[in-house]
Every structure is written in structure tokens, then in C-alpha cells.
Amino acid sequence: METLDLSGYRHIVFFTGAGMSAESGVPTYRGKGGTRGSYSIGEYACQEAFERVPEKVLGFHEKRRRFVLDCEPHEGHRVIAGMADAAVVTQNIDGMHQRAGSRNVIELHGSLWRLRCDACGFRKEDYGGTYETLQCGCGAWLRPGITWFGDVLDASVMNRAAEVISSCDLFVGIGTSGVVWPAAGFPAFAHESGAYCIEINPEPSGAASYDRVIEGTAGEVLPQLFGGR
Ligand code: NAD
């Protein structure tokens, strides 16, 4: 595959989904090897479950943290991190882009490495396998800072994503099935804003907004397409 000529592009956005981390060993949600159906959302991944049995929900997320800590960013993450001026808009909560060195990362669905207190507004970054503490100083349980099913997305994060996407001229969608909204609308938004849109996915999403679809994995395609930078 030929290396992409980037001389005509000034603002690049990488838009990533669970498939971006598949070659790091973090399973996707949908598609081959996906975790869909392997755990009960109603028991482990929604606000109601957290309010019912917070220890159980926190324990589940602690296990996910330990699992992700045993995985490493791959060459594709490093290629993206090497393009320091590009923005990353990710649906992933695993922090892999940051571990690879990306600095400008907009996390649409929050992060496994963040906790928040909905009672007093306290926020905490915590990068260990085991949570430093499960309770806030105010006495309430700390909640994983991720977007669960049924949650509303953080408006300020969505606004930042909309800003970088509306002003980009190259949009690269990687490893997303394009069914989780509102993120699923981003390729069309980028296309309508005038960006050239590329999809990288071994099982392409079928979204009509992509100008070029590369059937392949993130770890294989990214170093070839953006290699040598
Ligand atoms: P998804 O699970 O719905 O779809 C995964 C996509 O990745 C599929 O289209 C699949 O064909 C593609 N894929 C698989 N292997 C790939 C590879 N090696 N390279 C490139 N693409 C590959 O993912 P989604 O669209 O991101 O939606 C899932 C939701 O679940 C998101 O909201 C996300 O927050 C969450 N999630 C996150 C993680 C994570 O943080 N790593 C993992 C699972 C789920």
C-alpha cells in the first residue's frame, strides 16, 4: 500500500472505536471475538446497577482495568501518537492512545482510569489495577467515569469533538462498527464539513460517507498508510 501524501492536509482527525485496540488484546464489543452478550449490562454497566450494588459494579470495572493493564498499545497506536498535530476522537475507554503517547485525545465515552462523585462533583484520576479508594471524602461511592448504556454524553466533550471534526480536512475512521450514536454520525459530519474520509476496518461498517475504505486491521494498515513519519 502506498504511503498517503499528507501535504494537502492541515487538520487530521483519527476517529477510533473498539477495533483500534483489538490487536492489543482488548476485545471489541461487536464483531468477531466481541464481548457482547458475555456480561449483563443490567447487572454491571448501568447507573441503576451502580445505585443498587456499587461494590459489584466497581469490582467488575476493576477487573476490566487489570485486564487492560496487561495489554500494550500496538504499532498503529504509535503511528497515530507520532502525528502530534492530529486530534484523536475515541469511543474507547481503555486509555491506549495516551499510553502510546497521544496527547490530544477526546474521549467520548469517558475513561476506565477516571472516577467521579455524583454527590459532590469530585473527580479523580486513578491508573492502578486496584482502585485507591472506592469512596469519596464526602462519603458517597465513587462512580467509574465512563458512559454506560442509558447515560447522556458529556456536552462539553461532544462540543470539542464537533469542533475538531468540523474543521478537519482528513478524517480517518478506525475499528468502529458505526452503530453507537451519536458517534456513528461523525463520518457523515466530517464528510459534509468537507473532509476526505478514510475507513480502516477488516469488516467495513458500510457507512456511505467514506471516500476510501481500506479492508484491513489498524495494526497493519496504519504503519503502511502513514509510515515513515
Ligand atoms: P464495536 O465493538 O461495535 O465494533 C468493533 C469494530 O472494530 C468492528 O467494526 C470490527 O470489524 C472492527 N475491528 C475488529 N478488529 C479490528 C482491527 N484489528 N482493526 C480495525 N478494526 C477492527 O466497536 P465500537 O464501534 O467502538 O462500539 C463499541 C462501544 O463499546 C464503544 O462505545 C466503546 O466505548 C465500547 N468499547 C470500548 C472498548 C475499548 O475501550 N477498547 C472495547 C469494547 C467496547
- Same domain, yes or no: 101 and 160: yes
* Pocket residue to mutate for ligand 1, from 14, 23, 28, most atoms within 8 A of Cβ: 28
- Same domain, yes or no: 125 and 223: no
Stretch 19-34: mean pLDDT, rounded? 90
Q: Please say which residue of 146, 166, 192 terminates a domain.
A: 146
Active site residue 109: yes
Residue 225's domain comprises 1-25+73-109+153-229
Report the nearest-CA residue for atom 25 of ligand 1.
Answer: 176
Grade residue 26 by pLDDT with cuts at 50, 70 and 90.
very high
Stretch 10-17: mean pLDDT, rounded? 98
pLDDT value at residue 36: 75
- Same domain, yes or no: 158 and 130: no
- Same domain, yes or no: 105 and 52: no
- Same domain, yes or no: 209 and 166: yes
pLDDT in tens, 46-98: 999 999 999 999 999 999 999 999 999 999 999 999 999 999 999 999 999 99
Q: Which atom of ligand 1 is nearest to the CA of 108?
A: 34
Stretch 182-201: mean pLDDT, rounded? 97
Q: Does position 5 have pLDDT exceeding 80, yes or no?
A: yes
- Same domain, yes or no: 138 and 193: no
Q: Does position 147 have pLDDT exceeding 90, yes or no?
A: yes
| CB neighbour burial string for 54-84, b if at least 16 within 10 angstroms, e if fewer | beebbebbbebbeebbebebbebbebbbbbe
Indicate left, alpha or beta for 178 from its phi (over 0: left) and psi (-120 to 50: alpha). left
